[in-house]
Structure 1
Amino acid sequence: MTRPWLRWTRLICTVLALAGAASAASAAIAIQDDRGRTLQFDAPPQRVVSLLPSLTESLCEMQQCHRLVGVDRYSNWPQAVRALPQVGGGLDPSVEAVVALQPDVVLLSVSSRVSDRLEALGLKVVALEPKTHADVRRVLGVLGELFAVPREQGAQRLWRVIDAAVQAAAQSLPPKAHGARVYFEVSRGPYVAGQTSFIGETLARLGVRNVVPAELGPFPRLSPEFVLRVQPDVIMVSNRSAQPMATYPGWKHLPAVQAGRLCVFGPEQGDVLVRPGPRMAEAARLMADCLSGAFR
């Protein structure tokens, strides 16, 4: 006959075991990336390789920089990430270099060409690609969940900073700038920021008009003659290559160029402007400063 105290001991152990299992299940992390795939993690990843600068910056702004063990060659902010091993370009990094770092997770863009190869080698891959303001807010939330960052310290705080900065930048513009027609060149080609891109959305919130039609997509490649046809009031150019700035044929006759309403952003400012992440707050101020200077 089983003694009463033994029965109670076994019952208590069973209850504690079930509670532990339930706690472990609740602690497990499940996220969905931008490929529509759901990924499960038993705990926040401790070793991270980031292959997209905006994700690198977002992670660091959430005070999670210490988890990074490797980055792509373009991740250069904050300063601390420059000391990390670089594994090549974000779209086509060295798979061997990534594997050698033994990451718990690899963060990359949807357009990266190595996702399947990395997963075939047993690595977990989270593909995230913010293109709009809503995307940025969502991606910040996904990163916050993945790394168990409290919302008040992570996604919510960062988005409030971005949102408030854009609003403040809009309020700082002189009346003459309101409704100005703006052309924003992201890189030589020219590749430009369309209305549906996060840059285009920032311009809209600043109260100016983007001369690139929405139907052309977020970042279309256009001919230089496009600018000659649309005659923008202000031209913004991201010169991230640090090459001597040379305008396209015919641009010197544009009223915007002749009036000095041409803003050329160097490599550091260019990085700020074209990365959909926490430095969008600074990007809004850079755009506003350009517009204010153009309409003094």
Structure 2
Amino acid sequence: MKRLLLSLLLTTLAAGAQAYELKDDLGRTSQWSAPPRRIVSMVPSLTESVCELGACAKLVGVDRYSNFPASVDALPKLGGMDDTNVEMIVALKPDVVLVAPSSRVAERLQSLGLAVVVMDSKSYRDVERVLGKLGTLLAVPDAGRVWHRIEAGVGAAAQSLPALAKGARVYYEVASGPYAAGESSFMGELLSRLGARNIIPASMGPFPKINPEFVVQADPQVIMMGQRDAGGVVDRPGWNRISAVRDKRICVFTREEGDVLVRPGPRLAEAAQIMARCLRDTASKAR
């Protein structure tokens, strides 16, 4: 009888440990005996996702770009991709550190005994997958509610558009270079859901660096870009021939709007609404 009770106890303990096992996007598996209570997030979209899942109070430090919700501004800022403050992260004694695949300190943090989880969202469905993984990590049983809310919000943004605002050829410049949001990116997929036609095909990748002449040849009817990169866009060689430039159908997003648009996280529905507003406004300028 004692042996049976011992066996049952060991089985229960093993099941409890496995309940908090997670494989990250590099295929590496980490285990916890209980849901992490001290979390460091070095990715703004993951910071937002943790908070949306009700675990904001578990964050003990974030990267310098995490600025939403407002409560994270009070947390220690731990640098960015190129200047991560490893010593400060270690001093915070996190149960887990959330990083992007581009992180240059993941291996070092692991060598210092920290649990590091790599998560990446390039596509629309990646966001659903990452939210699900975070829900597992945080032991949030109804994590799917966040995705359902996103889906409903994106659907509502699409339905809000009149027929006149659909079908436009769109170029979305995400950064100087220039780098564009392709059809296969989460931003490109949002544009598709809104009925727009992306000039950057999926074959070019999610966020390709492109030749400006490619944009001239594709002749987009609408251009979307952030405030930081908008200066002088109309003066680029040959761009005066582009329909969007000629017809003044260029949407320049504020820094706050840009944060929403470029982060693959729980504010995707808000991003869709910002894009939809651009498409509505520019449709009224169509020749």
For normalisation by structure 1, the TM-score amounts to 0.90
What SS does structure 2 have at the residue aligned with 1:70? strand
Distance in 1, matches of 2:12 and 2:145, equals 28
Residue 245 of structure 1: aligned partner = 231
Distance in 2, matches of 1:286 and 1:103, equals 36
| Amino acid aligned to 1:161 | R
Query: In percent, how many aligned pairs have the same letter?
Result: 54
| Alignment coverage as a number of residue pairs | 280
Residue 95 of structure 1: aligned partner = 86
Residue 172 of structure 1: aligned partner = 160
Residue 68 of structure 1: aligned partner = 59
Matches within 5 A, 1:73-222: 73-90=64-81, 92-151=83-142, 154=143, 156-222=144-210
Instruction: Please tell me whether the aligned partners of residues 92 and 113 of structure 1 are also in contact (alpha carbons under 8 angstroms).
Output: no
Distance in 1, matches of 2:48 and 2:15, equals 29
The alpha carbon displacement at 1:278 in A equals 0.2
Q: Answer with 1 or 2: which has the greater Rg.
A: 1
RMSD (Å), alpha carbons: 1.6
Distance in 2, matches of 1:47 and 1:62, equals 15
Residue 226 of structure 1: aligned partner = 214
Deviates more, 1:218-227 or 1:265-274: 218-227
Instruction: Please tell me whether the aligned partners of residues 81 and 102 of structure 2 are also in contact (alpha carbons under 8 angstroms).
Output: no
The alpha carbon displacement at 1:20 in A equals 3.8
The alpha carbon displacement at 1:169 in A equals 1.1
Distance in 1, matches of 2:186 and 2:59, equals 26
For normalisation by structure 2, the TM-score amounts to 0.93
The alpha carbon displacement at 1:144 in A equals 0.3
* Structure 2 gaps, min length 5: none
| Amino acid aligned to 1:272 | V
| Amino acid aligned to 1:44 | P
Render the CA deviation track for 1:6-31: whole Å, top value 9, x for unaligned: xxxxx4x6655544433332222111
Render the CA deviation track for 1:254-283: whole Å, top value 9, x for unaligned: 321232211000110000000000000100
The alpha carbon displacement at 1:136 in A equals 0.7
Distance in 2, matches of 1:290 and 1:21, equals 59
